[in-house]
Structures are given as C-alpha cells and as structure tokens.
Amino acid sequence: MTTTTFASGDSDARTAVTVLGLGEMGSALAGAFVAGGRPTTVWNRTPGRDEALLALGARPAGDVREAVAAGSLVIVNVKGNDAAREILAAAGDALAGRAVVNLTDGTSGEARAMAEWAAGREAAYLHGQIMTIAPAVGDPDAVVFYGGSGEVFARYGAELALIGGRGSLLGEDAGIPGLYGMAVHGTMWGTLNGFLHAAALLSAEGVEVRRFLEQAGPSVSALFSILPSIAAEVDRGEYAADFGALKHHLPSLADLVGESRARGIDVEFPEYTRALVADAVERGHGEDSYSRLVEHFGKR
Ligand SMILES: NC(=O)c1ccc[n+]([C@@H]2O[C@H](COP(=O)([O-])OP(=O)(O)OC[C@H]3O[C@@H](n4cnc5c(N)ncnc54)[C@H](OP(=O)(O)O)[C@@H]3O)[C@@H](O)[C@H]2O)c1
C-alpha cells in the first residue's frame, strides 16, 4: 500500500467549505477553515453552537441542504456514522458532485458502508481519522489518516492541510484510516498500562517515577526500536528469535508478578502476560521470538 502526502500545489482561498457538526471537534475544524481564509458555511443539529464561529466570519445555513449546496468540499464530523449518514441524507440531491470528507470516528466497516452510500449519491468520498485533540487542529504536526478518493485528497490538499499538516492518503479503501487509528491507540493503551503498572511498583518503594525515567529512559525508549523487526516477523509469519527467545521472558515475568504481589500491587496485568508466554512455551514455541504471541491475539 502506498502512502501519499499533500502535494505542494497552489492553494485556492476561494474554495468554499461546509462543516456539518459543530461539537468540540467540528467547531475546531470550522475554525481552522475560517482562519485559513476559506468561505466556510456551518450547520449543527442543535442551534446556537455556531455563535463563536459566526463572529469569526463563518456563514450560517438554515438547513443541511442549504449548507451542502454552499460548499464544494463538505466536511462531516459528528458522534457516530449513523448520525453522519442521516445528516448527509438530509441534503438530498444537493450531495451529487460534492466532495464529502467524513471525519467521524467508527469501525472500518462503518467507513466502507459510508463510502458505498456516498457513491450511490454521486458524491466523491474520503474518510479521515483525526489523530489529535480538538485544540491541536491546524497544527503542522497534527496527523490525519485518509482513505478513499485520491482525487478529493489531491484537489483539496490545501484545505485538508488546514486540519493537520501531516495528513496522508493510505489508499482507496475508506476503512483503513480508522483501523490505523485503532492500531495507534491500541499500542498506546498497552504501553501506557505497562508504564503505569511499573510506576505503581516504583511509587510503592518511594521511587520518584520521573527519576526512574531520567535514569532508565533509554532502556524504555529502546523498546520502540524493535517494533520494525517485530512487524516484519508478523508480516512474514516467521518468528525467528533475533532478539532473544520467548522462554527467557518467563523468569522476569515471574519476578514482576512476585514483586507486585508482595507489594499489594495489581498482578492481573503482568500475570496476563506471564500466562500468555507460559502457554506459548508449553506449546513448543520457547525458542521463538516474542512476535509469536501475535497468534494468540489473532485467534477467533
Ligand atoms: N474532541 C476531540 O478532541 C476529538 C479528537 C479526535 C476525534 N474526534 C472525533 O470527532 C467526532 C466528534 O467528536 P466531538 O468531540 O466533537 O463530539 P461532541 O463535542 O460531543 O459533539 C458531537 C457532535 O455530534 C452531533 N451529533 C451527535 N448525534 C447526532 C445526531 N444523531 N444527529 C445530528 N448530530 C448529532 C452533535 O450535535 P448536537 O450539538 O446537536 O448534539 C455535535 O455536533 C467523533 O467521532 C470523535 O470521536 C474528536
């Protein structure tokens, strides 16, 4: 799969943008378009949420149809794809010929269904997964994953760059951006839980966690450098132990569980990992790489 980033073309400040949904994120998006000098029309189900934007120069719309008719680029950002579809449906035939960029979070299946639905209404469709919080919209380093119409991505690159400077088109599949988002978040939660468990252990001893990070930080950061080889092993479906065999993790895991238990720290998290490794070793994978555990997570 190839990744395309924004082309450095001339931006057209006359491009009219419509933003449907003015929650925390939708308001930030509309604000970014207004700040970028684009004629921006806004609509929200509950009236009154557009006041600050109107004061900045956004234009109000009486209904969805009017809003959609006002913009060649239509952004929708609400809670849930059912709501996004319901809103877009209210535009009727005004949707035909529009470029719709749906920035509503949801599953890959929902995004693909939205793409199919939009195609049935002759709208070009791009799905986007915003990887930042609302206050960081517009940041040159803000990441947005896109999937769907390459034509929309190329044509409205200058407008999409106003949302986040690090937008990339992952391919034509509208379902992939959400999946990337979940993969990033899943990695984040696993990492944070491991770190917070460690922090609880250190705190129980009276060790300042910041001090730990200053002294042991390079060891923690180094963990991320092994991800490319883990990824390659998973892709190949081969789990040769280039960085140490799975069986060598067991004693350290037993220590972590024992230390946690002795201090009254939650053992569920390390015990879960210990049991996974022990099971893989029992099944004869002790000489394999840690990446072998993907088979556990891949099970149905
Ligand atoms: N906030 C963030 O920092 C952030 C970051 C990344 C991604 N996101 C994603 O952005 C999307 C919006 O999040 P948010 O934080 O802006 O949510 P929010 O502040 O709770 O706003 C929700 C928006 O959805 C609208 N809405 C909900 N149900 C609707 C329905 N059935 N019909 C019409 N409109 C409906 C609301 O309209 P009303 O005003 O009428 O209720 C409101 O505009 C979500 O997919 C979220 O996961 C948000």
Looking from the CA of residue 21, the nearest atom of ligand 1 is 43
Whether the CB-CB separation of 14 and 37 falls below 8 Å is answered with no
pLDDT digits (tens, 9 = 90+) for 143-200: 999 999 999 999 999 999 999 999 999 999 999 999 999 999 999 999 999 999 999 9
For domain 4-172, give the fold.
Answer: Rossmann fold (3.40.50)
Question: What pLDDT sits at residue 23?
Answer: 98
What are the C-alpha distances in Å from 117 to residues 88, 90, 103, 204, 252?
10, 13, 16, 54, 52
What is the reported pTM? 0.93
Which residue has the CA at smallest separation from atom 42 of ligand 1? Answer: 23
C-alpha of residue 181 to centroid of ligand 1, in Å: 17
The residue ranges of every structural domain in the chain are: 4-172, 180-297
Question: What pLDDT sits at residue 200?
Answer: 98
What count of other Cβ atoms lies within 10 Å of the Cβ of residue 239? Answer: 21
pLDDT digits (tens, 9 = 90+) for 259-272: 999 999 999 999 99
Q: Is 144 helix (H, G, I), strand (E, B) or coil?
A: strand
**Average pLDDT of the segment spanning 84-109:** 98
Query: What is the CATH class of 180-297?
Result: mainly alpha
What are the C-alpha distances in Å from 34 to residues 47, 158, 163, 221, 250?
19, 13, 11, 39, 56
Residue among 77, 78, 163, 185 whose CB has most ligand 1 atoms within 8 A, to mutate: 78
